[in-house]
Amino acid sequence: MSFVKALRYFFREALVNLGRGYRVSFLAVLTIAVSLTLGGVFLLASRNLSGAVERWRAETRVVIYLKPATAEPEIQRLAAEAKAPPWVASVQPVSAAAARQRFRDIFPSLSGLVEGLGEEPLPPSLEVAVSERQAPPGDLATWLRAWRQRPEVSMVDDDREWLRQLETLIAVVRGVGLALGAVLLGAAIFTIASVIRLTAYLHHEEISIMRLVGATEFFIRGPFYAEGLLQGVLGALLALAGLYGAYHFVHARAASSLIAAMLATNFLGGSEIGLVVLLGAVAGLLGAVASLRREPL
């Protein structure tokens, strides 16, 4: 018998076994689907959060808040000085009046807080767009430290600091997801191994006859390996269907929720979908191999 015909026989017998024991097979498929769904949720969340960080990184600014009494000519002079380094892309001076108008436009319901005051409530500032890739190592940190020490400056706010904190959070989320997914995947492998072992016991008479007529161990065990593989693939497909349903549900609310927009901007890519299916197939095959590491009775 050729290898292709043997594979055909393996998968045909595996489908028959799945149909006969559909209840226990469904339990194995459901277990692996739950484990891959949980891992996929963390993968999807970290993927979209990483994409959001990259988009925000392109829009990050260093905001240099000046003392309230800084005059307009002094603001322009400081803006020109801030533009001097070659890795500074642009500097936008924002006067106190412009800052107040911006506050009113962004927070119309709170505009009363900045009205009726004798002095401008918000300080002037310089919004500096920097290119980290063009800045020599250490130069940007030195530049920021020098500006913080200047007498005209009250505070320097660097958007990149909270982005670094967010990246750390994404790494933690990804690590927790991988750990939980690995634990549940191990449980799924154990469940598939138990199901395959039970199926082998139910066919022990047929297996004994096949041995008597000279069938090889590979030919005897092949259908069980194929059954585990199919259970793993079915579990992965079920997990992907559940993930897509959850993604579609959250994505539909992206327009009204910032969190939804951050977590469900895009679905998994082709390589990531292939990885989920591959993990399911490998887990199912490992379960089958583990169940038959000793000869079935």
Burial of 290 (0-12, 13-18, 19+ CB in 10 A): middle
Sorting pLDDT into bands at 50, 70 and 90, what band is 234?
very high
Rounded to the nearest 10°, the torsion over CA 81, 82, 83, 86 is 110
One-letter amino acid of 263: L
Residue 246 CB neighbour total at 10 angstroms: 15
From residue 177, give the alpha-carbon distance in Å to each of 34, 36, 44, 75.
Answer: 13, 10, 10, 49
pLDDT value at residue 16: 82
What pLDDT score does 238 carry?
Answer: 93
> What value does the mean pLDDT take over residues 161-182?
81
Give the pLDDT of residue 119. Answer: 66
Taking the C-alpha atoms of residue 168 and residue 87, their distance in angstroms, rounded to an integer, is: 26
Are the beta carbons of 217 and 284 closer than 8 angstroms? no
d(CA 286, CA 36): 15
Given pLDDT bands bounded at 50, 70 and 90, which one contains residue 137?
A: low
Mean pLDDT of 138-166: 84
Give the pLDDT score at 110: 63
Query: Is 275 or 110 the better-scoring residue by pLDDT?
Result: 275
∠32-36-41 over CA atoms, to 5°? Answer: 150
Q: What is the mean pLDDT of residues 67-80?
A: 87
Cα–Cα distances (Å) from 216 to 15, 37, 210, 212, 221, in that order, read: 21, 38, 8, 10, 9
Q: Kind of pairing, strands 125-130 and 62-66? A: antiparallel
Tell me the mean pLDDT in the region 81-88: 86
Q: What is residue 237's predicted lDDT score, i.e. its pLDDT?
A: 93
Q: How confident is the model at residue 112 (pLDDT cuts 50, 70, 90)?
A: low
Query: In whole numbers, what is the pLDDT of the chain averaged over residues?
Result: 80
How far apart are the C-alpha atoms of 13 and 222, rounded to whole Å?
Answer: 9
Instruction: Choose the weakest-confidence range: 19-23, 106-110, 269-273.
Output: 106-110
Q: Rounded to an integer, what distance in angstroms lies between the CA atom of residue 117 and that of residue 103?
A: 14
Phi-psi category of 295—alpha, beta or left, where left has phi over 0 and alpha has psi -120 to 50?
beta
Q: What's residue 55's pLDDT?
A: 76
pLDDT value for 294: 57
For the cut 50, the answer to whether the pLDDT of residue 297 exceeds it is no
User: CA 218 to CA 23: how far, in whole Å?
Assistant: 27
